[in-house]
């Protein structure tokens, strides 16, 4: 499907200059625009402009998953879809994304491809509210997890990130913390209490799903920083899985890994997608073909904001793209 949305003068719904100093609920939905953003509030404020009123009751993310904090053996509440609508993003006065809409289907791998600097990683960070950690960052639009906007003022920041996990480009385990403690680290951060037997089972389950259990089961008390790069990345995947996310975001998870480790990560993705929806940023076209079901091609032309040129089933995107720019990129003629 080719993007045909005309450019409009956007304005940020949300800007977060001091998010680290505020509570979760204060951090959501704050409107403190930069000078340029404030000048353009009237033309394109769809979410919190004139006539908008907050609902008296709004469902919290994961409201139906109350038992998850008690029963680790239970499967999460089900595969989730993620729907980004009219996402526009700024760093200060610089617009980096404009009117990006994309539905990431439940139980599928969606690959975000495109040249460096076109906004793929920014879009990915917006999907779990990490964009707001950047001083001066702002965004407009909605991100719906099974129909609920994670940026709604009733939604807690920690709950959004529990439901939508992230694995970064560079493996980032806690280096002095043991392998075991790395896996369960997220429980404390999300307020989940668990006994020792529950933690033991969770560690084995998550390391198994991440394809790491057989390699480390006899040295769980050794530091996570002592593992190889590929093992560290799988440890980070296990850590993300421990808090039962419904969506897992991956920002170039194999870019720093050798071919063998890359193959293992790709095999892990193929297994994980049975239980969690995955969105991955990759510059490796062969990898996008191997691991993804859907693909979205981002582009930023002549210092303009990034946008989606085309998106659809991966096999179609690579064999019969509708836009010649897509064909040129996936076949290596630029980028």
Ranges 23-37, 85-99, 123-137: which has the least confidence: 23-37
Q: How many whole angstroms separate alpha carbon 274 and alpha carbon 107?
A: 6
The pLDDT value given to residue 77: 60
Residue 124 has pLDDT above 50, yes or no: yes
Res 1: pLDDT? 53
Q: What is the pLDDT of residues 167-216, one digit of tens each?
A: 998 899 998 999 999 999 988 777 788 888 899 999 999 999 999 999 99
117's CB contacts (< 8 A; 6+ apart) are 300, 306
Cα–Cα nearest to 238, from 198, 206, 202: 206
**Looking at the predicted structure, is the pLDDT value of residue 123 above 70?**
yes
pLDDT digits (tens, 9 = 90+) for 229-243: 999 999 999 999 999
Beta bridge partners of 64: none
Q: Of 72-76, 82-86, 207-211, where does mean pLDDT reach its minimum?
A: 72-76
At residue 1, the 3 state secondary structure works out as coil
Chain segment 88-98, per-residue pLDDT in tens: 999 999 999 99
- Which pLDDT does position 269 carry in this prediction? 95
Statement: 14-47+74-330 belongs to CATH 3.40.50.300: yes
**11-39 burial code (b ≥16 CB/10 A, e <16):** bbbbbbeebeeeeeeebbbbbebbeebee
Q: Where are the domains of the chain?
A: 14-47+74-330
pTM above 0.85, yes or no: no
List of long-range contacts for 60-65, beta carbons under 8 Å, 24+ apart: 60/148, 60/154, 60/155, 60/156, 60/159, 61/145, 61/148, 61/150, 61/155, 61/156, 61/159, 61/160, 61/163, 62/159, 62/162, 62/163, 65/244
């Amino acid at each position: 499907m080719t993007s045909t949305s005309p450019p409009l003068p956007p304005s940020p719904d949300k800007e977060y200059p001091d998010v680290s100093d505020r509570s979760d609920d204060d951090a959501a939905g704050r409107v403190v625009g930069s000078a340029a953003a404030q000048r353009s509030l009237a033309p394109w404020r769809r979410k919190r402009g004139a006539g908008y009123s907050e609902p008296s009751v709004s469902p919290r993310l994961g409201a139906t998953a109350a038992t998850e904090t008690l029963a680790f053996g239970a499967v999460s509440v089900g595969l989730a879809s993620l729907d980004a609508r009219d996402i526009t993003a700024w760093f200060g006065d610089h617009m980096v994304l404009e009117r990006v809409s994309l539905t990431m289907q439940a139980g599928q791998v969606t690959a975000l491809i495109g040249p460096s600097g076109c906004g793929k990683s920014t879009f990915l960070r917006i999907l779990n509210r990490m964009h707001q950690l950047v001083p001066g960052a702002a965004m407009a639009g909605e991100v719906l997890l099974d129909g609920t906007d994670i940026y709604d003022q009733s939604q807690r920041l920690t709950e959004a990130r529990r439901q939508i996990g992230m694995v970064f480009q560079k493996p980032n385990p806690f280096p002095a913390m043991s392998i075991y403690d790395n896996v369960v680290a997220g429980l404390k951060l999300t307020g989940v209490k668990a006994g020792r037997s529950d933690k033991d089972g969770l560690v084995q389950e998550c390391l198994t799903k991440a394809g790491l259990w057989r390699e480390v089961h006899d040295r769980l008390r050794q530091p996570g920083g002592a593992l190889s790069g590929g093992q560290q990345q799988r440890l980070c995947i296990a850590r993300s899985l421990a808090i039962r996310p419904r969506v897992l975001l991956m920002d170039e998870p194999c870019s720093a890994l050798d071919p063998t480790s890359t193959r293992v990560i790709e095999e892990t993705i193929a297994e994980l997608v049975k239980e969690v929806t995955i969105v991955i940023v990759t510059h490796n076209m062969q990898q996008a073909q191997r691991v993804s079901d859907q693909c979205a091609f981002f582009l930023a032309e002549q210092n303009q904001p990034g946008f989606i040129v085309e998106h659809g089933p991966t096999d179609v995107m690579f064999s019969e793209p509708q836009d010649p720019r897509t064909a040129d990129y996936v076949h290596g003629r630029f980028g």
